[in-house]
Amino acid sequence: MNHEKAAIKTTYFSIISNSCLAIIKGIAGIYGNSYALIADAIESTTDIFASFLVLLGFSYAKRPADKNHPYGHGRIEPLITFIIVAFLVTSATIIAYKSIQNIQTPHQAPAPWTLFVLSAIILWKELSYRIVLKKGKEINSTSLIAEAWHHRSDAITSIMAFIGISISLIFGKGFETADDWAALAAAGFIIYNSYLIFRPALGEIMDEHLYDDLVEEIRNASLEVPGILGTEKCFIRKTGMKYHADLHAIVEGTLTVVEGHDLAHKLKDHLLDKIPHLTEVFIHIEPN
């Protein structure tokens, strides 16, 4: 299975998971008198829309390079990630606003059975986080990694809801708003998590140097080509799930232009074969 198909399959998993959980959380929150669960349902609903955006991004990103986009269309991925972050911040703001309103309004404590619902949700969301994160790292997808952190943030907001409901039930009268304080704390965590998602996507857009391991891999693989004496500059830019490399290779200074040209092609072919997540390598020959 290629990277694009794996990413799409994983995103569908997220959509189905979040759809089911949004319904369960919403029903449990309404009938169990828990705004923390309702807040959780709101976050899961925004995650569904975010996942559809990720799917659209993958469809666009897999378009081949053309005259107007010589490096391909992969940069749509971090742009989609920015939109996902906007969804998260919006949901966190809504949750915080409603939490403050509920804290100021007297109400009943949540139903005890909501704790069992939350326990199952926490386990499932943590498992979903691990599944999606593993796939995101395997295929170098910024959007999938952001999608994974949606699952992790969902798990943590559910843990906060669990703690809030437990406090309100254990301590009784006067602690009914613990559930709402938990939802407010969850909103703060979502904001913080949004920054963690936003930062690497920004680095990708800005061509920030973040790929030391890949640079080292390219340098070592280059030395396997007969005639390559060493490497000098090596710059990496990420576009979607693939990488472009600009490499200065050191060769014997007595080579002819044709020999240097042929050697550059051999080096490029070797690197593309040796390192599958490289999609293009631009070689500049440096005489020794």
pLDDT at 282 over 80: yes
Nearest CA to 55 among 74, 75, 80, 79? Answer: 80
Nearest CA to 41 among 20, 11, 55? Answer: 20
Residue 233: helix, strand or coil by DSSP?
strand
pLDDT at 227 over 60: yes
Most confident of 4-8, 81-85, 217-221, 240-244: 217-221
pLDDT at 216 over 80: yes
The separation between CA 251 and the C-alpha centre of its own chain, rounded to angstroms, equals 40
CATH 3.60.21.10 is held by the domain 3-205: no
Q: pLDDT > 70: what percent of the chain?
A: 98
Most confident of 1-5, 247-251, 276-280: 247-251
CATH architecture of 212-287: 2-Layer Sandwich (3.30)
| 232: confidence class by pLDDT, cuts 50, 70, 90 | very high
pLDDT at 2 over 70: no
What tokens does 143 get? 């959007």
Residue extents of the structural domains in the chain: 3-205, 212-287
CA neighbours closer than 13 Å in the CB half-sphere of residue 250: 8
> Is the model more confident about 176 or about 248?
248
Q: What number is the average pLDDT over the span 59-84?
A: 80
